[in-house]
Amino acid sequence: MKLLFETFLIAHGLLHLPAFIRSFFGEPTPKARETASKGLGILWLTASLLFFCTAGLLHYDNDYWWTVAVPAITISQLDIITRWKETKSGTLVNLVIAVVTYTVAHNLWQLHQN
């Protein structure tokens, strides 16, 4: 299960990269009528890198991986809101990640309390 979740995090991080690339290097496509600003592109890249870091921390059994996952989810959702028509399905992905993150973090906290 852990490997599946790590793969899910990496895949979601990879899905943020095209928006970053488009904001810095790309031409507007018919689907995305205008090129994203460079500032938004940086946010897309930040979310991507945070998801990669989350997967890495989880892979190496760092109990605090969730502290990176929370800002990753938050920034990702803010990115999604800025491009809602094209990216609204990412909200479901963020929700899945948030539920797993909350569940595991809560269980870790309970474990450390005992």
Structural domain harbouring 40:
2-113
Distances (CA, A) of 73 to 5, 15, 31, 76, 80: 14, 13, 24, 5, 10
pLDDT of residue 109: 80
Task: Over range 18-42, report the average pLDDT.
Answer: 75
- DSSP state at residue 83: T
C-beta of residue 80 within 8 angstroms of C-beta of residue 90:
yes
What are the tens digits of pLDDT across the range 57-103? 999 999 899 999 999 999 999 999 988 998 899 999 999 999 999 99
Q: Above 60 in pLDDT, residue 31?
A: no
- Kindly state the percentage of the chain with pLDDT values over 90: 65
Residue 86's pLDDT is what?
87
Tally the domains of the chain. 1
